[in-house]
Protein backbone atom coordinates (compact mmCIF):
# COMPACT_ATOMS: atom_id res chain seq x y z
CA UNK A 1 0.00 0.00 0.00
CA UNK A 2 1.36 3.42 -0.92
CA UNK A 3 1.29 6.23 1.60
CA UNK A 4 0.34 9.83 0.94
CA UNK A 5 2.34 12.34 2.96
CA UNK A 6 0.17 15.06 4.47
CA UNK A 7 1.18 18.38 5.93
CA UNK A 8 -0.14 19.61 9.26
CA UNK A 9 -3.82 20.58 9.08
CA UNK A 10 -4.17 19.14 5.55
CA UNK A 11 -7.68 17.88 4.80
CA UNK A 12 -8.47 14.46 3.37
CA UNK A 13 -11.84 14.28 1.63
CA UNK A 14 -13.60 10.98 1.02
CA UNK A 15 -16.88 10.22 -0.71
CA UNK A 16 -18.90 7.91 1.49
CA UNK A 17 -21.54 5.48 0.37
CA UNK A 18 -22.85 2.44 2.18
CA UNK A 19 -19.61 0.49 1.61
CA UNK A 20 -16.88 1.07 4.23
CA UNK A 21 -13.95 3.30 3.31
CA UNK A 22 -10.54 2.29 4.65
CA UNK A 23 -7.41 4.35 5.16
CA UNK A 24 -4.08 3.63 6.84
CA UNK A 25 -2.57 6.38 9.00
CA UNK A 26 1.09 6.42 10.06
CA UNK A 27 2.68 8.88 12.47
CA UNK A 28 5.70 10.56 10.87
CA UNK A 29 7.54 10.80 14.22
CA UNK A 30 7.20 7.32 15.70
CA UNK A 31 5.85 5.15 12.87
CA UNK A 32 2.76 3.97 14.78
CA UNK A 33 0.23 2.83 12.17
CA UNK A 34 -3.56 2.53 12.45
CA UNK A 35 -6.10 1.15 10.01
CA UNK A 36 -9.20 3.32 9.99
CA UNK A 37 -12.55 2.16 8.66
CA UNK A 38 -15.16 4.84 8.01
CA UNK A 39 -18.78 3.71 7.77
CA UNK A 40 -21.83 5.76 6.88
CA UNK A 41 -25.21 4.88 8.34
CA UNK A 42 -28.55 6.51 8.90
CA UNK A 43 -28.97 7.69 12.47
CA UNK A 44 -32.13 8.81 14.24
CA UNK A 45 -31.43 12.50 13.65
CA UNK A 46 -29.24 12.59 10.52
CA UNK A 47 -26.72 10.64 8.52
CA UNK A 48 -23.78 9.80 10.72
CA UNK A 49 -20.38 8.24 10.29
CA UNK A 50 -18.62 5.70 12.43
CA UNK A 51 -14.82 5.56 12.58
CA UNK A 52 -13.13 2.39 13.77
CA UNK A 53 -9.42 2.63 14.61
CA UNK A 54 -7.28 -0.48 15.01
CA UNK A 55 -3.53 -0.65 15.50
CA UNK A 56 -1.67 -2.34 12.64
CA UNK A 57 1.31 -4.00 14.33
CA UNK A 58 2.85 -5.39 11.15
CA UNK A 59 2.83 -2.04 9.34
CA UNK A 60 4.09 -0.26 12.47
CA UNK A 61 7.06 -2.66 12.69
CA UNK A 62 7.79 -2.17 8.98
CA UNK A 63 7.71 1.62 9.28
CA UNK A 64 9.96 1.57 12.35
CA UNK A 65 12.52 -0.73 10.69
CA UNK A 66 12.86 1.75 7.79
CA UNK A 67 13.34 4.67 10.16
CA UNK A 68 16.72 5.91 11.38
CA UNK A 69 16.87 6.40 15.12
CA UNK A 70 16.79 10.13 15.98
CA UNK A 71 17.56 9.88 19.72
How many separate domains does the chain show?
1
pLDDT by residue, tens only, the chain of 71 residues: 566 777 788 887 777 766 777 888 888 788 899 998 888 877 666 777 888 899 999 999 988 888 765 54
Note down the domain range covering 41: 21-66
What's the confidence (pLDDT) of residue 56?
92
Per the domain annotation, does 6 fall within a domain?
A: no
Per the domain annotation, does 14 fall within a domain?
A: no
Per the domain annotation, does 9 fall within a domain?
A: no
One-letter-per-residue 3-state SS of the chain:
CCCCCCCCCCCCCCCCCCCCEEEEEECCCCCCEEEEEEEEEECCCCEEEEEEEEECHHHHHHHHHHCCCCC
User: pTM for the whole thing?
Assistant: 0.66
| CB 14 within 8 Å of CB 38 | yes
Per the domain annotation, does 13 fall within a domain?
A: no
| CB 39 within 8 Å of CB 53 | no
Per the domain annotation, does 15 fall within a domain?
A: no
Amino acid sequence: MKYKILDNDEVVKVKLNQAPFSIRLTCCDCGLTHDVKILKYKGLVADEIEMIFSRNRRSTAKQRRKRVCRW
